[in-house]
């Protein structure tokens, strides 16, 4: 994992350091609050890119709300990190995500749509997050997530997960079915 550059990033949630990472041609970001080097039980949120939710404000998912909730949570801590991974649409890419949306418009759930497009329900890989944590010298984390796969993959990659804090977002009428599917078919702890 290569560090490309870093800069200060003041946000409405607090002051962070923005660090750009690159591995195998893919760029990821770390938003670091305070001094995390060598720390244990660092508050952590791993967030997968969601252009439609994070940037465009889509109500089909709870991604933007989760991102903002995590940033607000970390902004109140002395130290912590948000890792922003470039793996749009649970790892299927932006174009395929739009195709999956089209299938969802026809009545399929998000898991069925991904399978119909020839993908696993969730294609994400969190090994890059583990490498980022290693590059930052983080010993162990307290993760803000509903996704047990994140925890399993971090631990598989040598990161100690001390505890999990849920990140619960009130569903909208548009995201309710999506969140039910995440709980039922992806095992999310909602």
Of 54, 62, 65, 122, which residue is the catalytic one? 122
Which stretches within the chain are classed as H helix? Answer: 63-75, 88-91, 94-105, 110-116, 127-135, 148-156, 176-186
Q: Which two tokens stand for residue 64?
A: 């933007």
Strand order in the sheet with 26-33: 2-11, 14-23, 26-33, 80-85, 42-48, 140-144, 160-165
SS3 assignment, position 3: strand
Report the candidate in 44, 156, 52, 40 with the shortest Cα–Cα distance to residue 101: 52
Q: Is 124 a catalytic residue?
A: yes
Of 124, 125, 164, 176, which residue is the catalytic one? 124
Tell me the catalytic residues.
122, 124
């Amino acid at each position: 994992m290569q560090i490309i550059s870093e800069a200060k990033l003041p946000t409405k949630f607090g002051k962070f350091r923005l660090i750009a990472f690159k591995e195998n041609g893919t760029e990821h970001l770390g938003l670091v609050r305070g001094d995390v080097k060598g720390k244990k039980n660092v508050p952590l949120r791993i967030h997968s890119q969601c252009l439609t939710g994070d940037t465009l404000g889509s109500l089909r998912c709870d991604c933007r709300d989760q991102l903002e909730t995590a940033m607000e949570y970390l902004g109140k801590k002395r130290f912590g990190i948000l890792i922003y991974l470039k793996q749009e649409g649970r790892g299927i890419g932006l174009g395929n995500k739009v195709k999956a949306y089209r299938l969802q418009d026809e009545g399929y759930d998000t898991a069925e749509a991904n399978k119909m497009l020839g993908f696993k329900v969730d294609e994400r890989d969190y090994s890059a997050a583990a490498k980022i944590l290693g590059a930052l010298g983080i010993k162990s984390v307290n993760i803000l997530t509903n996704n047990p796969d994140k925890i399993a993959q971090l631990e598989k990659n040598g990161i100690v997960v001390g505890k999990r804090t849920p990140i619960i977002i009130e569903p909208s009428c548009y995201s309710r079915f999506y969140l039910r599917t995440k709980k039922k078919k992806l095992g999310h702890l909602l």
